Amino acid sequence: MITVEHLTKRYGEYTAVDDVSFACKPGRVTGFLGPNGAGKSTTMRIIAGLTPATAGTATIAGVPYRHIPNPATQVGVLLDASAQHAGRTGAEILRLSAMTMGLDRSRIDDVLALVSLTPEEAGRRVRNYSLGMRQRLGIANALLGNPQILMLDEPVNGLDPAGIHWMRGLLRNYADRGGTVLLSSHLLHEIEIIADDLIVIGQGRIVAQGTKEELLAGSGTRVKAVDDAALGQALAAARIVAHPAAGGGFHAEAEPAVVGHVALDARVHLVELRPGDNTGLEAMFLQLTQQTQREQPVNQGAFR
């Protein structure tokens, strides 16, 4: 189990991680999401003992990473697939890791088979690997010590569709056997397919966390009126937060019965009143992180 409590990391005046707390449980895949620069990689580096925290704690089974004896046999980490010695072969990299961990060399053949790297590919120098092959080698290295916890940052980068499908099955099987997986990725569709729990971070702070079902469940109310301006005024007067919806009307942060009563009292004629939709992980992600996105909607007038 990974436990992060009130974690903060500052670089001078810049706060990269700001009072972050969450837990990753055994038997579950936890998806860690956020815009570029949100603090995902910094948080994972702190958990892996590579970056010191300014405040707070990050522990694995109750112990900081750097205090775990032979940690690679407890925690498999892949934070940057390109950070591998380009002049060594894949097999040499795994042999060095196995020697460091005190493992039998037969384990190397096991993980190479697991990640579908052939003996011929394992004999190539890493400088000649594609990004997808480097990802497979990084996963093999993370799994070499047969750990109970996996921490992976963007593990499907460079994988083709077949490789992504393979990775999905590997992580699902790992969690189903009781392992703990913390997975960071910008491929929201893949996270939506495989994750059990979600953590969304923006500008260094957690903006949402919970099970996938909880966060993706339809919420609030989709409401539309003959006179949307009057409806918006009535909702504002009732202190109900409402966001303009595509096609007119609003998505109101209240139950349909409450919204209906507000419209009735204001004598606003409704043409639509229903529970909010489950619009998927991408819509949820964009809504939760809209104030922390680096990329903002394009002003089409700029191209005219």
* Joined tokens for residue 215: 């966060």
SS3 24: strand
6-10, 255-259, 273-277: least confidently modelled range: 273-277
Asked if pLDDT for residue 282 goes beyond 70, the answer is no
pLDDT digits (tens, 9 = 90+) for 12-38: 999 999 999 999 999 999 999 888 788
Q: DSSP assignment of 165-196, as one string?
A: HHHHHHHHHHHHTT-EEEEE-S-HHHHHHH-S
Largest CA distance in the chain: 77
217 versus 252: which is more confidently predicted? 252
Number of residues in the chain: 304
Q: DSSP assignment of 220-261, as one string?
A: SEEEEESSHHHHHHHHHHTT--EEE-TTSSEEESS-HHHHHH
User: What pLDDT shows up at residue 131?
Assistant: 87
User: What pLDDT shows up at residue 83?
Assistant: 80
Residues 141-150, mean pLDDT to the nearest whole number: 93
102-111, 258-267, 287-296: least confidently modelled range: 287-296
User: What pLDDT shows up at residue 304?
Assistant: 44
40-49, 63-72, 124-133, 286-295: least confidently modelled range: 286-295
65-74, 128-137, 184-193: least confidently modelled range: 184-193
Task: Give the span between the Cα atoms of 11 and 209, in whole angstroms.
Answer: 26
Burial class (CB in 10 A: 0-12, 13-18, 19+), 179: buried
User: What pLDDT shows up at residue 203?
Assistant: 86
Asked if pLDDT for residue 96 goes beyond 50, the answer is yes
What is the band of 289 on the pLDDT scale with cuts at 50, 70, 90? Answer: low
Paired residues of 7 in beta bridges: 20
Residues 274-279, mean pLDDT to the nearest whole number: 68
Residues 35, 292 contacting (CB under 8 angstroms) = yes
Residues 11, 17 contacting (CB under 8 angstroms) = no
User: What pLDDT shows up at residue 49?
Assistant: 92
pLDDT digits (tens, 9 = 90+) for 218-229: 567 889 999 999
Asked if pLDDT for residue 66 goes beyond 70, the answer is yes
Listed by start position, the domains of the chain span: 2-213, 218-277
DSSP 277: P
Sheet holding 2-11, edge to edge: 14-24, 2-11, 55-60
Sheet holding 250-252, edge to edge: 242-244, 250-252, 221-225, 270-275
Q: Which residue has the tokens 């940052």?
A: 153
Half-sphere exposure of 96 (CA within 13 A, CB side): 7
What is the band of 287 on the pLDDT scale with cuts at 50, 70, 90? Answer: low
Of 133, 23, 136, 12, the C-alpha closest to 78 is 136
Contacts of range 175-178, beta carbons closer than 8 Å, 24 or more positions apart: 175/27, 175/28, 175/29, 176/27, 178/26, 178/27, 178/148
What is the dotted CATH code of the domain comprising 2-213?
Answer: 3.40.50.300
Residues 6+ apart with CB under 8 A from 116: 136, 166
